[in-house]
Structure formats: structure tokens, C-alpha cells
Chains A and B, each alone.
Chain A
Amino acid sequence: MSKQRLVLIGNGMAGVRAIEEVLQSTPDQFDITVFGSEPYPNYNRIELSKVLQGDTEIHDITLNSWQWYEDNNIKLYPGETVLEIDKEKQIVRTDKGRESAYDKLIIATGSLPFMLPLPGADKEGVTAFRDIKDCEKMIECSNHYKKAVVIGGGLLGLEAARGLLNLGMEVDVVHLADYLMERQLDKTAGKMLQKELEKQGMNFLLEKQSEEIIGTDRVEGLKFKDGQQIEADLIVMAVGIRPNISLAKESGIPVNRGIIVNDYLETEVPNIFAVGECAEHREMVYGLVAPLYQQGKEMAKRICGIEGDGYQGSVLSTQLKVSGVDVFSTGKINEDEHTKSLKLFDEWNGTYKKVLVDEGKVTGAVLFGDTSDGNRLLSLINKGASIEEYTESGRSEEAGADLISSMPDEEIICGCNGVTKGTIIEAIHNQGLATVEQVKGCTSASRSCGGCKSLVSDLLEHTLGDDYDQNQKESICTCTTLSRDEVIEEIKMKGLTHTREVMNVLGWKSEEGCSKCKPALNYYLGMLKPTEYEDEKESRFVNERLHANIQNDGTYSVVPRMYGGVTNAEDLRKIADVADKYEVKMIKVTGGQRLDLLGVKKQDLPNIWSELDMPSGSAYAKGLRTVKTCVGADFCRFGTQDSIGLGIKMEKKFEGLNTPHKVKMSVSACPRNCAEGSVKDVGIVGLDGEFEIYVGGNGGTHMRKAELLYKVKTEEEVIAVTAAFLQYYRESANYLERTSAWVERVGLDHIRSVLDEKQTFMELNHRMDEALSVVQDPWKEAIEDNRLLRELYQNVKIPAGSN
């Protein structure tokens, strides 16, 4: 069968997303041609304000690279505008005289900025804020001129204004209504927003109607209906957008405000679809990205001949992308006579929350200052939930299954990678996925912080029903079907000694493993034979290979060891000297009571370590990080024990230890627990005459309160119990499993029953000592080994033009 010809007019977010959906459903069914007026590949228009605000470069907001078009055999004509659609012959014609025939045509021409028809609007220095060209114009203008005026105090106008401030211009925002963003916010929130933005340096002229733009060739000022006049070197019109429907209209495709489409995004002309901001569905024209993506998905199904329910419309929500201001609104904004509302207004902290209720159901919300409830409110509105559901169920109490089924398809499950419920369910269906690992591999959901793993698991259960086995054997990674316990058993039985041997002998699917199994095997081998195993540098994540934490710009951070968080003048002086000499970008106090030198070049690491002459603080390690301590009996009037002394002893004992994941400890000297033992892997609380040992706490991704393991009388007992606990954790936890997850999984009672056995307790202590016997300070090791220095820390630098 020969391929069908699919033509897209408009190389923007909605259209290209739809093409991606088509490619995903039926990769080889279409010959695809794309026309776009702008000379760029598809970029993220939403992020334009960031480009203007200086956070981002233009190439960073590109969504589909030139290569992507090439890889997918898409003919792209950038900078070429379609002028005519011949719907009888099914041909489009462009401004360059090109003709292209189609079997299916998608119109995704987006919107045009609405330009006020003021006298003088054609002068130089008047611009819209819609595309890369406009951004470049504004950036260029800020190099020569000072005074900018933005007409329009809505979402777009405020984002433009913030960007112009960043570019160093003085900014007046002119607005017709009596408060900002009146379509998304109520008056209270609008006024709070104004105050906040005034603090940032914006100046507002409200209830002003523009009458005329003044100037000779270039704009010089703006005159209002009330006779007032202000100066301006640049005028940005951001009063709104209107659907770009002229091509459709001229080609005889029925339009209203936008191009009229049905639930499958079909226009009234056969084989012609319209999607995105130019389309009008059930009398609604959408200008936000989530609905447009949903439309694209439904349209792609129809184009590929896949059955679907069609697009059903969307409830909108808005979030303002201006740095330092959190604003969210969704659904209904203002009360009418039938509406009741729930309001919380905290003028002191600058937060405001209003939830609107009609006949007992949540119908809208406005949030200012704290927008963390936003998505939840949106999902409650979408499912028509009662207000009780919001007020009664604390945030996380809504139970798994119920929450899952009530979520709309577009709800984001994985916040790190932006994966929606719909995407995951579709992948489960289409690709026959059955495990969390597989979902991770196919969609990226739960790949980054892992915080949504349980949600993904719930989704699998929800989608597959009884076919889903929650307690499935979890393999180490996709390179093998063996679980951690099976691999360890095999290593012991067969006496395997390095990672490659494990992979070969146990039939790994990929020859050299992956970034998951390599470090895991390296850990297990070292844990089983601490004195014999030679650690493999190449199986270590960069931080543990270089013994420093890599930062987002490729520099590193250095955290020297300060036992118990105690330092002295001499060490501080050395740190200060090093910071000066190597131009350290920032010195930061860490959560574990240490000093962090940030922004260090890789080549400088060894010299810095040598000049500091302090041991590594292991801030990068899957091992003991820090023992945080309170002031304790030496100084504190409440202190009952020498928390600092015990903390230092523990840190000296366990420093350099490798563990499945990082381990944080603390020692406090009274029940006030100032060293925060409730959220540590091991938290000691000193009482009068005894110590409490808490384990399995976590203050990070998976918040968990530590549980009391034992009460003991002496410092020696504290250390012995800690050693036994940590060793049992080392021997039985999965690699990358924190004590919090491990304690939760195996149960505290089980751990206690193991440690209660006198013999086992002693053996665990003995094996811990064995593991600690090979520990060396990694910084010292690196400094003294020329080969390590050359291989790991030095770059090769060749001046241009040599050879």
C-alpha cells in the first residue's frame, strides 16, 4: 500500500505535537510535509518569556531539532507560508510557488497577536510579544533605549514586562481594567500581584485607555483618552491574541471565532483538520498548551484510523511564569449570587486562597503566594467533587485507587519528566507493559526522583486489574531477569569476583550492563568481599569516581570532613584561603552542618584537597555522610549527654563506609532533638542516663519518621547497635534503597529479632569492622597517585590550529 500524504500547515507546538502522536501510533503510514512561516524548528512558545527574562537561550527552548525532522523523514519548509488551500484538488500552494498535494491536511496556524488600531501603531518601536522575532526586537531595543511601555496587564503583558525589567529597561504597564489579570484573578489576588510586581520595579497605570502613539518615525510616547501622556522608546502590545483563521476563511472552510471543528478536530471540509489555537471546539477557543496537546492526541487517533472518544473540552488553569510570584487560577474566578466561597487571606505572609463552591461542588479557585494545592483543585473540579472532599481529606489522604480513577488523563504523574496519566496508560495498553520498570523505560515516568513510583504502580494495577502482580520480583535492571537476592546468591555460590564476570556468567542481556546494574554489582561485590574486592572506578557514578559532587554546569563541589559539625579557626582559615585562591563561586553551609565550596573546576580538585589537608567529607557518597550534633552537655542548659563527643566518635568510626545508599546520622543530647534524629537513618537521642536509638527516618523524597530501635545505657552500646544495624542494612538492602524504605519493607520487628540474637549481633559487628578496615581517605589516595590524577582529573587541552 502506498503511503498517504499528510500535510501540516503551521510548524508550532500544537501541530508538531499532533505529528508526534501520529508517528507514535502509525510510524510508516504517512509521507509528512510541514510548512512553517517562522524560520525555526518547532520551539516552546510558552518559554519565550524566559528567553526575554534572560533565563534561557533560544536554542534551549527548541522542542524538535532539525535532526528530528530528518530522522522521521519529515519534509520541512521553514520560512515558507501557505497562501492557498485548493480543497477540490486537495493541494496547498505557498508563497514560494510550491504546490503540495495532500490526502489529509492539518491546519495549525495558531494565533496572531491582537494589535490595537491606534493612530501611530505602525511606528518603529511598536511590537507584539508572540514569536522569536519579537523577542529579538525587544532585546535589541533594550541595548539602545531606556523606557518601555507594555499595553496590557494580562498574563502575556506581565511576562513581557518582567523580561524588559531584566533587560534593564524602565517599565510602565498600562491596563484598561482596575486590577491586573482580571480574566484569571479576582480583585484581591490582582491587587496582591500588583504590590508584588511593584516591589520588583514595575510601574502600573490602571484604568487607562490608550488613544494615540506619538512620535515622528520612532515611537516617543503614548497618549491616553484622559489627556495624560507618557514617554516611551518601546511599546509592546500584549492585549490578547486572536485565532489565525484567514487562510481557512479564504479557502472556504467554515469559521466562527476560530476554525469550526468537531470532537475529532475535523473541519466541515473532508480530510481537513484544524488543531490548536486556531480551532474552535464547542464554541471554545483554547490558548493554553494542555488542551492543545489533548486535541492533538484525539486528532491523531482519527487520522490514523484508531477509535477514540474524541476531544471533550477542557477546564482551564493558569499559572503565571514571573519569577518570585506564585499565582494559580482555575475554573470559575468570581462569585455570583449562587456561589459560596472558602477564603484564606494572610496579608502578613502574602498568601491568599479562594475556593469557589456552587451547589456544594468545587467550581473554581484562585491561589496567590502558595500554589501547591493547584493541581489537586484542578483535578477536583474536573471530576465534579464536593467541597468536603477538599476540606476533609488532608492532602494525601485520598486513597490510591480512588485518586487514580478520578484523575483526568492530562494530570501529570511524573513531575520531573512531565509524563501524564494518559501517556502512561496508553503505553501500558499499546506496548503491553506490566512492571514499573517497563513503564520507566518506555515513558520516563519515575526515572528521576522516583517519587511517583507508587503512583505508577497504582496506575498499572488500575489498568491491568488482577493481571498486575504488585509483588513481582524486581530485577536489578532491564539487563537481567534476576533479582538482587538471586544475583547475590549466584555470586557467593560461583565465587564471582568482578562485574563483567557476573554479567557474563549470569547471562546478562546487554554485554556491558547499564548505569543501573554496574554500580549495583560493584557495591554487592565489595560488600561480600571487602578485603579482596578491587573497587571498579568505571562502575562508579561520577561523584563517587571523582570524590566530589558534579554540578549542573560541570563544575564540582568540595565538602571537607568536619567531625560532628565542629570546626576551628585553623580549618576555617584554610578553607577561606583555598576559596580565595581558587575563586570558589560560593561557600554554603549544608544541611549536615558542613561547609560546601561550590563551583570548583575539576582540574583544581586535587590541589584544593592537598591545600586543605582535611579528609573528604563524603558528601557525594553512597555511604556515611555526616553525623549532625546538637551543642550538648558542654554548653547547653538542657543537655544531658555529650552529644558532640559521641557524634565525633561515631563519625570517626563509620567514615568512608560504603552502604547501599547515603546514610545520615545525628546525635542530640535531650528529647528536644535539635539534631533532628527523627528524619535521620540513625538518630541518637541522649536522655539522663540512657540513649534512644532511632532508625529509618528520612526527610527527603520519602518523608518518614524514624522508629525507636533500642534504648541503651552507654556510648559503647550505641556504637555497637549502630554498627550491627548498618551492617545488616548493608547486607540485606537493595542497592539505592535508603534505610527508610528498607526498614519499611522488612519491618522493624524483623530487624530487632535479628539483632537480638547475641551471636548474630557479634558477627555483624565483626563484619562491619572488616569492611571498615580497608577504608582509606579517597582525597589523599588521589593526590598521591599520579596515574589517578592524570586519568581522572586532567583534561587534554590543545590550542586551535595546532598540527
Chain B
Amino acid sequence: MEKLLSKVFVSKLEDLPEKLGKTVIIGELELAVFKLEDGKVRAIENRCPHKGGVLAEGMVSGEHVFCPMHDWKISTRSGKVQEPDTGCVQTYETEVKKNEVYVIVPGK
């Protein structure tokens, strides 16, 4: 099945907090968007696979975020939960153009 994707404007780059997450709600989707220390912007599903913790409020280290509920460590790049826990979250592509941040989400 072919999926439709759409590119959604989220925020100006400078309006995202440094080394922290931001909760972004697009229709039914709730994403956690991170501006990492290296300037990269990453978007993942805002729900820890463990107990549904809001990842946007987690502490960010490098490309990883630590869930505020029980400290699960999750890669914002691959969405993978790090050892010793297991699981993964959905990741979404992001794009930064002229200081504007976009995420690519399914459907229109």
C-alpha cells in the first residue's frame, strides 16, 4: 500500500529550545521534536513504549532521550530503545530549510 506523506511546518529553528524536546501535535499525531546539541532536529513519537511516558520532557544526551517516567534510553535517530530495555518508537523525517523546521508525516 502506498502511503501519502506530507511535509508540515513546525517551528522556526530558533524557537525550539536547545538540547530539549518540544511537544508537537499534528492532527491526531503527537510528536516529540528535539533540537540536539549538534544542531540536528529529530522527531519521534511522543510516547515511550514502556508506560507511555512523554518523551518530549525527557533529558537529552547526544542523540538519545531519557524517558521522564522510568529513565528508558531511546535513540532519537533510530527510535530504538537502548539496552537493557527493548522496544522502539516511530521516527519521523525532519527537514530544516532557511531556519524553518518541517516534519514529514503520513497522510493528508
Q: Which chain B residues border A540 with CB–CB below 8 Å?
A: 59
A36 to chain B, nearest CB (A): 19
Residue on A with the closest CB to B11?
A796
Asked whether A796 lies within 8 Å of B23 as measured between CB atoms, the reply is yes
Q: What 3 A-B pairs have minimum CB-CB distances, sorted nearest first?
A: A800-B27, A515-B66, A791-B17
Q: Beyond A510-B61, A803-B9, is A797–B25 a contact (Cβ under 8 Å)?
A: yes
Contact, CB under 8 Å: A511 / B86:
no
Q: How far is the CA of A546 from the CA of B57 in the complex (A)?
A: 9
Kindly list 6 other residue pairs between chains A and B, CB separation below 8 angstroms, not including A444-B85, A800-B28: A65-B87, A539-B59, A540-B59, A546-B57, A798-B8, A803-B7
Specify which chain A residues have a CB less than 8 angstroms from the CB of B13 in the assembled complex: none
- A444, A792, A803: most-surrounded residue (chain B CB, <10 A): A803
Contacts A67-B88, A542-B57, A791-B17; is A796 near B25 (CB within 8 Å)?
A: yes
Does B61 lie within 8 Å of A514, measured CB to CB?
Answer: yes
Selected A-B contacts with CB under 8 Å, 14 pairs: A65-B49, A515-B58, A537-B17, A538-B18, A541-B59, A550-B54, A550-B68, A552-B52, A790-B15, A792-B20, A795-B24, A796-B10, A800-B26, A800-B28
Q: Would B17 and A542 count as touching, CB distance under 8 A?
A: no
Given contacts A546-B57, A803-B8, contact A798 B27 (CB under 8 A): yes
Encode A70-95 as 1/0 by CB contact (under 8 A) with B. 00000000000000000000000000
Within 8 A of B (CB), among A396-448: 441-444, 447-448
Question: How many angstroms from the CA of A479 to the CA of B19 in the assembled complex?
Answer: 19
Q: Nearest A residue to B58 by beta-carbon distance?
A: A542
Bound form: Cα–Cα A395–B55 in Å = 40
Chain B residues, CB < 8 A from A604: none
Q: How far is the CA of A514 from the CA of B59 in the complex (A)?
A: 8
- In the assembled complex, the CB of B3 is this many whole angstroms from the nearest CB of chain A, namely 15
Contact in complex: A441, B84 (CB < 8 Å): yes
Q: Which residues of A contact B37 (CB under 8 A)?
A: 512
Query: Which of A440-486 touch B at CB < 8 Å?
Result: 441-444, 447-448
The complex places the Cα of A485 from the Cα of B87 at a distance, in Å, of 37
Nearest residue (CB) in A for B6 is A803
Q: Does A513 contact B (CB under 8 A)?
A: yes
Nearest CB of chain B from residue A735's CB, rounded to whole Å: 14
By a CB distance below 8 angstroms, the chain B residues around A638 are none
A801 in the interface (beta carbon within 8 A) = yes
Whole-angstrom CA separation of A514 from B72 in the bound complex = 11
Q: Assess whether B27 is in contact with A796, with CB atoms less than 8 Å apart.
A: no
Instruction: Knowing A539-B59, A542-B58, say if A795 contacts B27 (CB, 8 Å).
Output: no
Determine if B93 is an interface residue (Cβ-Cβ < 8 Å).
no
Please, how many angstroms separate the alpha-carbon atoms of A518 and B64 in the complex?
A: 13
Does A802 interact with chain B (Cβ within 8 Å)? yes
From 500 to 527 in chain A, residues with beta carbon under 8 angstroms from any chain B beta carbon are 510-515, 518-519
For B61, the closest partner residue in chain A by CB is A512
B96: Cβ under 8 A from any A Cβ: no
Q: Given the known inter-chain contacts A798-B8, A798-B25, A803-B7, please indicate yes or no for A518 contacting B61, CB distance below 8 A.
A: yes
How far is the CB of A70 from the nearest CB of chain B, in Å?
10
A538 touches B62 (CB 8 A): no
Of residues 746 through 803 on chain A, the ones whose CB sits less than 8 Å from some CB of chain B are 790-792, 795-803
Q: Which residues of B contact A538 (CB under 8 A)?
A: 17-20, 59-60
Which residues of B (1-53) have their CB < 8 Å from a CB of A? 6-11, 15-20, 22-28, 33, 37, 49, 51-53
How far is B37's CA from A204's CA once the two chains are assembled, in angstroms? Answer: 64
Proximity string of chain B (53-87) to chain A, C-beta cutoff 8 Å, 1 when within and 0 when not: 11001111110001011110100000000011111
A795 touching B26 by the CB < 8 A rule?
A: no
Residue of B nearest to A791 (CB): B17
Count A-side interface residues using an 8 Å CB cutoff.
43
- In the complex, residue of chain B having the shortest beta-carbon distance to the beta carbon of A65: B87
Contact with B along A535-572 (1 / 0, CB 8 A): 00111111101100010111000000000000000000
Asked if A345 lies at the interface with its beta carbon under 8 angstroms from chain B, I say no
Given contacts A552-B51, A554-B54, A798-B27, contact A512 B62 (CB under 8 A): yes
- Cβ of B108 within 8 Å of any chain A Cβ, yes or no, is yes
CA distance A512 to B85 in the complex (A): 21
What residue of chain A has the Cβ atom nearest to residue B15's Cβ?
Answer: A790
A420 to chain B, nearest CB (A): 14
Q: How far is the CA of A514 from the CA of B63 in the complex (A)?
A: 11
Closest residue of B by beta carbon distance from A551: B69
Question: Shortest Cβ distance from A252 into chain B, in angstroms?
Answer: 38
In the complex, chain A residues whose CB is within 8 Å of the CB of B69:
550, 552
Among residues of B, the one whose C-beta sits closest to the C-beta of A550 is: B68
Q: How far is the CA of A538 from the CA of B61 in the complex (A)?
A: 9
Cβ–Cβ < 8 Å partners of B88 in chain A: 65, 67
The distance in angstroms between the C-alpha atoms of A519 and B61, with both chains bound, is: 11
Given the interface pairs A512-B37, A518-B59, the reply to whether A792 lies near B66 with Cβ below 8 Å is no
**B6 contacts A796, C-beta separation under 8 Å:** no
Whole-angstrom CA separation of A802 from B71 in the bound complex: 34
A550 in contact with B57 (CB, 8 Å): yes
Given A538-B60, A554-B53, A798-B26 in contact, is the A67-B71 Cβ separation under 8 Å? no
Instruction: Please report the C-alpha to C-alpha distance between residue A178 and residue B21 in the assembled complex, in whole angstroms.
Output: 60
CA distance A797 to B24 in the complex (A): 6
Task: State in angstroms the CA–CA spacing of A237 and B77 once bound together.
Answer: 49
**What residues of chain A lie closer than 8 Å to B87, measured between beta carbons?**
65, 67-68
* Contact between chains at A510 and B25 (CB < 8 Å): no
Closest to B7 in A: A803
A519 to B59, CA, bound (A): 9
CB-CB under 8 A for A801 and B22, given A538-B59, A541-B68, A542-B57: no
Q: Which residues of B contact A553 (CB under 8 A)?
A: 52
Contacts of B10 in A (CB 8 A): 796, 798
With A and B bound together, what is the CA distance between A510 and B73 in angstroms?
A: 14
- Bound together, the chains give a CA A541 to CA B57 distance in angstroms of 8
**In the bound complex, CA of A799 to CA of B24 (Å):** 11
> Would you give the shortest CB distance from B30 to chain A, in whole angstroms?
9
Within A249-298, the residues touching B (CB, 8 Å) are: none
A511 adjacent to B71 (CB under 8 Å): no
Given A444-B84, A803-B9, check contact A792 B62 (CB 8 Å).
no
Q: B7 to chain A: which residues have CB within 8 Å?
A: 803
Which A residues touch B28, using CB under 8 A? Answer: 800
Q: Is the CB of A795 within 8 A of B23?
A: yes
Minimum CB–CB distance for B56 against chain A, Å: 8
A127 to B60, CA, bound (A): 49
- Name A795's contact: one of B18, B20, B22 (CB within 8 Å): B22
- From A554, which residue of chain B is reached at the shortest CB distance? B54
Contacts of A519 in B (CB 8 A): 59
Q: How far is the CA of A552 from the CA of B51 in the complex (A)?
A: 8
> Which residue from B52, B61, B84 sits with its C-beta under 8 Å from A442?
B84
Bound-complex Cα distance A510 to B84 (A)? 17
- Give complex CA distance A177, B35 in Å: 65
| Chain B positions within 8 Å of A443 at CB level | 84
Residues of A within 8 A of B57 (CB): 542, 545-546, 550, 554
Contact B71 A447 (CB under 8 A): yes
Which residues on the A side are within 8 Å of B61 (C-beta)? 510, 512-515, 518
Determine which of A441, A510, A801 lies in contact with B27 in the assembled complex, contact meaning CB atoms within 8 Å.
A801
Q: CA–CA, A792 to B17, complex, Å?
A: 8
Across-interface contacts of A545 in B (CB, < 8 A): 20, 57
Cα–Cα, bound, A370→B62 (Å): 47
Q: How far is the CB of B54 from chain A (nearest CB, A)?
A: 4
Q: Would you give the shortest CB distance from B95 to chain A, in whole angstroms?
A: 12
Q: How far is the CB of A608 from chain B (nearest CB, A)?
A: 18
Cα A554 to Cα B30 with chains together (Å) = 12
Query: B24 → chain A, closest Cβ, in Å?
Result: 4
